[in-house]
């Protein structure tokens, strides 16, 4: 039987990694060691959140009261706590989610004002990678995830970097490398040639007629993908010059792709910037599938700290 938080003398934290295709919920006392997790498909908002809330209520009955919640969500989303729309999802093709306020719905369902920090899923991931993973010891950490979409997040002097909204690196405009090989694939409905529209998983599948995970390592798809990923990394280097760029998500897991990205980065950058060795500068995420939920538990810790300060 799991220990109660009365016995552990630590607050029980809850977390949601709210992905566009999958929800992950967890509880624990220590972000690095979730006690229990559950995963289920992302459906309509109320149906999805009902399953999440049922999990949390069950764990609260079994273990003890949940004292804070961290949410790392797909975006774009309103993550400024001072905004009246804090907790809302913005423009998205996902049915029913646009304009839906996740924070308000959860608090209403729970029936009490649980301390909540609401941020992006990629911000949650960079928190965990900078603290426990590939970015340990670096002050300025960039994290790019490449999967069904492309997202990025930044740690600057140990803190998440926010602007008026949050970084939307997936919609950086980048060169069109498709034309040179007789292709013209762009999966973004907003832009003619952006990072996500050219390089995310759906673009790979549409361009070649096969999902990326089924394409062989020596397929020309990966040379093209390396060009696009390198272009994104070169742009981030020009704009911000982080200590390290960490690459995560399903696409970068293809064996042999990261070395191609490094080689292409060297070509595109022209050795303009003084950088660490590229094997250190462009590196793979270390926390794999757990980065988002560990980071969301860290957001719950932040919620608890902010509540204590008042």
User: CA–CA separation, 245 vs 252, rounded Å?
Assistant: 13
User: CA–CA separation, 164 vs 162, rounded Å?
Assistant: 7
User: CA–CA separation, 238 vs 308, rounded Å?
Assistant: 39
User: CA–CA separation, 75 vs 120, rounded Å?
Assistant: 6
Nearest to 121 by CA among 252, 299, 254: 299
Please give the pLDDT value at position 178: 94
Please give the pLDDT value at position 20: 87
Task: Assess contact for 56 and 107: CB atoms under 8 A.
Answer: no
Of residues 265 and 9, more confidence is placed in 265
Mean pLDDT calculated for residue range 56-63? 96
Of residues 130 and 95, more confidence is placed in 130
Domain ranges of the chain: 5-123+289-309, 137-285
Please give the pLDDT value at position 162: 86
Q: Which fold has domain 137-285?
A: Nucleotidyltransferase; domain 5 (3.30.420)
**Cα–Cα–Cα angle for 124, 203, 140, nearest 5°?**
30
Q: Which residue has the tokens 């670096």?
A: 138
Mean pLDDT calculated for residue range 151-177? 91
Residue-wise pLDDT tens digits, 13-27:
999 999 988 999 999
The full DSSP string for 208-225 is HSS-GGGS-TTSTHHHHH
Can you say whether the dihedral through the CA atoms of 197, 201, 204, 206 is positive or negative?
negative
pLDDT at 259 over 90: yes
Band the pLDDT of 7: cuts 50, 70, 90: very low
pLDDT at 59 over 80: yes
Equal CATH topology for 5-123+289-309 and 137-285 = yes
Please give the pLDDT value at position 2: 47
Q: Which residue has the tokens 């990678």?
A: 129
Whole-number percent of the chain with pLDDT over 90: 86
What is 5-123+289-309's CATH number, 3.40.50.2300, 3.60.10.10, 3.40.50.1370, 3.30.420.40?
3.30.420.40
Q: Which residue has the tokens 């990025």?
A: 152
């Amino acid at each position: 039987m799991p220990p109660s938080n009365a016995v552990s003398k630590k607050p029980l934290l809850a977390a949601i990694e709210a992905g566009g295709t999958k929800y992950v919920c967890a509880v624990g006392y220590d972000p690095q060691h979730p006690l229990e997790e559950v995963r289920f498909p992302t459906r309509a908002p109320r149906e999805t959140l009902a399953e999440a809330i049922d999990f949390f209520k069950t764990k609260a009955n079994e273990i003890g009261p949940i004292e804070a919640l961290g949410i790392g969500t797909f975006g774009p989303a309103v993550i400024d706590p001072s905004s009246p729309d804090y907790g809302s999802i913005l423009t998205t093709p996902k049915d029913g989610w646009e304009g839906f306020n996740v924070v308000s719905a959860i608090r209403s369902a729970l029936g009490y004002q649980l301390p909540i920090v609401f941020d992006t899923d990629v911000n949650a991931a960079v928190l965990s990678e900078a603290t426990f993973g590939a970015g340990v010891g670096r002050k300025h950490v960039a994290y790019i995830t490449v999967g069904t979409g492309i997202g990025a997040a930044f740690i600057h002097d140990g803190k998440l970097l926010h602007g008026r909204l949050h970084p939307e690196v997936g919609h950086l405009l980048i060169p069109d490398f498709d034309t040179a090989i007789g292709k013209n694939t762009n999966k973004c409905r907003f832009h003619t040639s952006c990072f996500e529209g050219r390089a995310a998983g759906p673009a790979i599948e549409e361009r070649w007629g096969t999902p990326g995970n089924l394409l062989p390592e020596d397929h020309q798809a990966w040379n093209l993908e390396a060009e696009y990923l390198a272009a994104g990394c070169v742009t981030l280097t020009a704009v911000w010059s982080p200590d390290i760029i960490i690459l995560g998500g399903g696409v970068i897991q293809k064996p042999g792709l990261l070395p191609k990205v490094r080689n292409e980065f060297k070509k595109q950058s022209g050795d303009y910037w003084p950088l660490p060795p590229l094997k250190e500068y462009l590196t793979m995420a270390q926390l794999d599938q757990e980065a988002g939920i560990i980071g969301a538990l860290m957001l719950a810790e932040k919620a608890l700290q902010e509540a204590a300060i008042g």
